[in-house]
């Protein structure tokens, strides 16, 4: 078995490892994950607040603190995603996989079909993938791009209601509320989107651990250190 370690592009059949995820991508991944966790917990209690307590409101400001944490996490969530978009432009080719689905390439569709069969246990053969496989890429594009944008737009639209008419959030995102049918409908779609995101997180964790066990390349360690490690030298 070869012991070559590649820091740039080489013939995959001679590589034992390749540097895939740059530091900004890895940092964004964990900031994104932490933000989702904080937003999900605080958002749940905003939608289902705790019972009111007797006494002065200033002495029982738990839900107010919950909202403040939710808003701060929302800013982090949105700003981190903006930085991630920037890095997709200036980073390596793997940094762009999240945003660009090469649907015009027949090979990508063929790979997508193979991955569906592989994860449906219809074939034992796994392919050697440098970045994201086509199925993962499609899931990432839908959940980590489209759904993230939807959460940002609906979240700041609702935030604009609290800031008031004419606020920056109302000017930039206020149009979302009438498009979705009103404030209550926007809240419903925002909450539903978070449940979809949490469902994706659970599946994503399962697939990452499964890949480390069953596939020919690393997954969990790759998002930690950036290196995609391979278990064999076959292409």
Type and span of the H or E element at 17: strand 17-19
Contact 92, 22 (CB under 8 A): yes
Query: The pTM is what?
Result: 0.86
Name residue, tokens 């979809």: 196
Distances (CA, A) of 115 to 159, 212, 216: 40, 16, 13
Residue 234: the pLDDT is 62
Express each pLDDT in 94-104 by its tens digit. Answer: 999 999 999 99
Between 220 and 83, where is the model more confident?
A: 83
Domains detected in the chain: 17-48+62-229 (1.20.950.20)
Q: Quote the DSSP letter at residue 230.
A: B
The span from the CA of 25 to the CA of 87, in Å, is 8
Express each pLDDT in 68-86 by its tens digit. Answer: 999 999 999 999 999 999 9
């Amino acid at each position: 078995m070869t012991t070559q370690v590649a820091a740039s592009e080489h013939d995959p059949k001679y590589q034992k490892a390749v540097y895939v995820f740059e530091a900004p991508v890895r940092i964004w991944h964990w900031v994104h994950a932490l933000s989702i966790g904080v937003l999900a917990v605080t958002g749940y209690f905003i939608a289902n607040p705790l019972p009111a307590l007797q006494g002065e409101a200033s002495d029982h400001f738990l839900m107010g603190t919950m909202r403040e944490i939710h808003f701060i996490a929302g800013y982090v969530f949105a700003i981190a995603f903006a930085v991630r978009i920037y890095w997709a432009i200036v980073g390596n080719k793997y940094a762009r996989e999240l945003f660009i689905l090469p649907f015009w390439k027949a090979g990508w569709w063929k790979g997508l079909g193979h991955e569906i069969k592989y994860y449906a246990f219809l074939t034992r053969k796994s392919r050697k993938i440098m970045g994201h496989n086509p199925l993962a890429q499609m899931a990432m594009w839908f959940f980590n791009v489209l759904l993230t944008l939807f959460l940002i737009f609906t979240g700041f639209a609702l935030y604009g209601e609290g800031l008031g008419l004419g606020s920056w959030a109302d000017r930039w995102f206020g149009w979302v509320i009438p498009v979705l049918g009103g404030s209550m409908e926007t809240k419903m779609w925002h909450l539903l989107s978070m449940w979809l995101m949490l469902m994706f997180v659970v599946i994503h964790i399962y697939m990452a651990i499964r890949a480390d066990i069953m596939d020919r390349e690393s997954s969990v360690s790759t998002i930690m250190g950036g290196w995609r490690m391979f278990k064999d030298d076959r292409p």
